[in-house]
């Protein structure tokens, strides 16, 4: 009896962990850029069962670094790009027992806006130099 109870507890823990650590469902059809302007981008993803929130990070390809984007309980996040460059995004679910692994990066080649293919890079603004003086 005690052994059976222990198995039940273990199975419950494993099931709970499995739900809490499930990856968000990231795919080319449900991870979409939209509403892109020169300096902001909004990413979306599908819900992960058991998740209480989500965390996002971006990879800036020019510098080969990861940038913390933010966390949210919703299924989309609008990000103010800190600088111009080429970005891809990753998301992970956060549950009561921790967080999932990071999702695969957004696929730059199939990102789309309202179903229309678009380039994956986002250009920020570059301010021109000041007025020229010749002496």
Partner 1 sequence: MPKLKDMILTFPPSGSPDVVGYKLYVQLANDPVTYDSESWDLGLNTSIDIATLPGMTTKDDIYNMGVTAVDEAGNESSFSLINDVPLDFVAPDPPGPLSFVSG
Total of chain residues touching partner 1, rule CB under 8 A: 20
- Which residues sit opposite 106 in a β-bridge? none
Kindly state whether residue 80 participates in binding partner 1, applying the rule CB under 8 A.
no
Cα 18 off chain centre by? 20
**Sign of the torsion angle spanned by Cα atoms 118, 121, 124, 129:** negative
Least distance CB 89 / partner 1 (angstroms): 17
Applying CB under 8 A, the span of 3-11, 20-28, 64-72, 78-86 interacting with partner 1 comes to: 78-86
Residue 110: strand, helix, or coil:
coil
Residues 45-64, interacting with partner 1 (CB under 8 A): 62-63
Q: Which of the ranges 18-26, 29-37, 77-85, 100-108 carries the binding residues for partner 1, by CB under 8 A?
A: 77-85
Whether residue 59 contacts residue 16, with contact meaning beta carbons closer than 8 Å, is answered with: no
Binding of partner 1 by 123 (CB under 8 A): yes
For partner 1, the closer of residues 73 and 130 by Cβ is 130
Q: Which residues lie closer than 8 Å to 32 by C-beta, 6 or more apart?
A: 43, 44, 111, 112, 113
Residues in touch with partner 1 (CB under 8 A): 62-63, 83-86, 121, 123-135
């Amino acid at each position: 009896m005690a052994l059976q109870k222990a198995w039940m507890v273990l199975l419950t823990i494993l099931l709970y962990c499995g739900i809490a650590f499930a990856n968000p469902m990231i795919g080319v059809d449900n991870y979409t850029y939209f509403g892109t302007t020169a300096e902001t981008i909004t990413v979306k993803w599908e819900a992960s069962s058991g998740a209480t929130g989500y965390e996002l990070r971006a990879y800036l390809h020019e510098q080969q670094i990861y940038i913390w984007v933010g966390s949210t309980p919703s299924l989309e996040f609008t990000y103010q790009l800190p600088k111009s460059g080429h970005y891809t995004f990753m998301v992970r679910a956060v549950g009561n027992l921790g967080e999932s692994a990071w999702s695969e990066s957004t696929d730059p080649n199939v990102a789309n806006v309202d179903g229309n293919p678009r380039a994956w890079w986002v250009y920020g603004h570059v301010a021109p130099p000041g007025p020229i003086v010749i002496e």
